[in-house]
Amino acid sequence: MDEIVRAIAGDGNIKITAISSRELTEKARCIHTTLPVATAALGMTLAAASMIGNEIKQDDASVTVRINGGGPIGSIVVVADHMGNVRGYVQNPHVDLPLKNGKLDVCGSVGTKGMLTVIRDLNMKEPYVGSTALVSGEIAEDFTAYFVESEQVPTACALGVLVDRDQSVLAAGGYILQLMPGAPEELAVQLEEKIQKAGAATSMLVDGGSPEEMIMRVLDGFEPRILEHCPVEYRCYCSREKVESAVKSLSARELEEIKADGKPVEVTCQFCDKVYSFDVSEL
């Protein structure tokens, strides 16, 4: 079962959120038939958006993450609800790139000439929109830069997706660690050492490790206190009613042109690939 775990250091100077997201990433892979490099890019974005969404704790709020670095994968779009359930897609799921230094070339697929945008919709008049230029195309590094530049929060972000030989997802997840206001400056150096010692997120998860175990390794010596466990999943909220509303928004002329063809109209949800059909009489 995928889950998010939230914790805080014993002295209150560090907060951390960790996620295991293998199942939701595998579901996304199956829905969109992504090839490995797209699976990795989408999976890391799903994990990050899930952790950000879970932090909101406001009913019906949502977080939308958009990444487009000009690479062959095109845009990555992920939406998370206030519990951390997510849905998403990549524009070009069948991008196939050679390995780079023995690893999936996520940077090459995403590109670096573009933006990472986070939209928090808190059901107010206007959503909060933060956007930063991509720094590397390595998604964890780009989220780290986003938090530092857009939200002025010292952050360390680790994300990973490990794809098996049959292209299924073997492990996925990561963590977002942030310093609290007033934390001593030397704490950043201590944490950097701990993070390097803990190793990659997928290494901690591949042998069945849990988000809680990940937290304990990263914050070893800081007496972390677990605050919450929250199950998460890949969840789409599309419905025939919502799609019908979108069709109704078309102009009368557009609807008449569609009706003139005399064929049913099929609308496919980008997030779950479910197809909704409307016959001529409905139009």
- CA-closest candidate to residue 174, choices 122, 128, 232, 119: 232
pLDDT above 90 as % of the chain: 72
Lowest mean pLDDT among 74-83, 183-192, 251-260: 251-260
**Domain residue spans of the chain:** 3-231, 240-278
- Residues 53 and 34: their CA atoms lie apart, in Å, by 24
User: Pairing mode, if any, of strands 62-68 and 14-20?
Assistant: unpaired
Alpha-carbon distances, residue 52 vs 45, 128, 175, 182, 186 (angstroms): 11, 13, 11, 22, 26
The pLDDT of residue 125 is: 84
pLDDT (mean) for 170-174? 96
More confident residue, 254 or 215: 215
pLDDT (mean) for 183-206? 89
Going by pLDDT thresholds of 50, 70 and 90, the confidence category of residue 188 is confident
The pLDDT of residue 108 is: 95
pLDDT (mean) for 132-148? 95
pLDDT above 70 as % of the chain: 99
User: Pairing mode, if any, of strands 275-278 and 62-68?
Assistant: unpaired
Going by pLDDT thresholds of 50, 70 and 90, the confidence category of residue 161 is very high
Provide the token pair at 169: 């997802």
pLDDT (mean) for 35-59? 95
The pLDDT of residue 105 is: 95
Lowest mean pLDDT among 173-187, 225-239, 260-274: 260-274
The pLDDT of residue 55 is: 92
Q: Residues 6 or more apart from 228 whose CB is under 8 A from it?
A: 4, 5, 6
More confident residue, 224 or 261: 224
The pLDDT of residue 7 is: 97
The pLDDT of residue 43 is: 98
Class of domain 3-231: alpha beta
Q: Is the pLDDT of residue 281 over 80?
A: no
The pLDDT of residue 215 is: 95
The pLDDT of residue 172 is: 97
pLDDT by residue (tens digit) across 11-45? 999 999 999 999 999 999 999 999 999 999 999 99
**Mean pLDDT of the residues in the chain:** 92
Ramachandran area for residue 61 (φ above 0: left; ψ -120 to 50: alpha; else beta) = beta
More confident residue, 7 or 260: 7
pLDDT (mean) for 160-188? 93
